[in-house]
Amino acid sequence: MPPEALEITRKFMNKPVRILVKRDELTLEGIKQFYVNVEKEEWKLDTLCDLYETLAITQSVIFVNTRRKVDWLSDKMRGRDHIVSATHGDMDQNTRDIIMREFRSGSSRVLITTDLLARGIDVQQVSLVINYDLPIQPENYLHRIGRSGRFGRKGVAINFVTREDERMLFDIQKFYNVVIEELPANVADLL
């Protein structure tokens, strides 16, 4: 718990009870983690399209940080002839269920979403997670990339990093005590 929160509890509560919950176990075995230095936000779309033209991907999930960006990115990808599905919290539950059913069945192979589904996607065929945007909270990183490599399979997580994201990448590595390496040129061999 952040020191500020502890200070508030000491100041305003009588005999507070402190319950310690174990931090999420690092269950990232089998998931190779990389970053791509994209320098600027504007370069992410071209980088993403280049990856999809280079790699043979069974299924993948692309995470962004806002609902508006889910819609924007799915429109841009479709405009470049990529078949994608998209879901976020502004969609009604029935629509989200249909999209997830299509994704689970394999009729949809690319899902663009927000953290809304970071904990709820259990699809065996997901081999790649792309953090188009790094998560705002380091804790969400585990839930996002844990969507790949499910059920004992190998997975790959690729993080797009702009100059503004470098600090968050550092914080994520520190938080999980991992080293996230730059994406190698032989990325196709990893999947």
- Give mean pLDDT in consecutive 10-residue pieces for the chain, a chain of 191 residues: 73 76 56 93 95 84 95 95 90 90 87 77 74 92 75 80 95 91 78 59
Q: What local confidence, expressed as pLDDT, does residue 158 receive?
A: 95
d(C-alpha 43, C-alpha 63), whole Å = 16
66 token code pair: 């806002």
Q: DSSP letters along 4-61, please?
A: HHHHHHHHH-SS------PPPP---TTEEEEEEEEESGGGHHHHHHHHHHH---SEEE
Q: What local confidence, expressed as pLDDT, does residue 149 receive?
A: 57
pTM comes to 0.81
Q: What local confidence, expressed as pLDDT, does residue 4 receive?
A: 74
To which CATH superfamily is domain 29-190 assigned?
Answer: P-loop containing nucleotide triphosphate hydrolases (3.40.50.300)
pLDDT, one tens digit per residue, over 17-40 is 777 655 544 456 778 999 999 989
Q: Which residues contact 183 (CB under 8 A, 6 or more apart)?
A: 34, 35, 36, 158
d(C-alpha 166, C-alpha 92), whole Å = 35
In terms of Cα–Cα distance, which of 98, 117, 72, 100 is closest to 129? 117
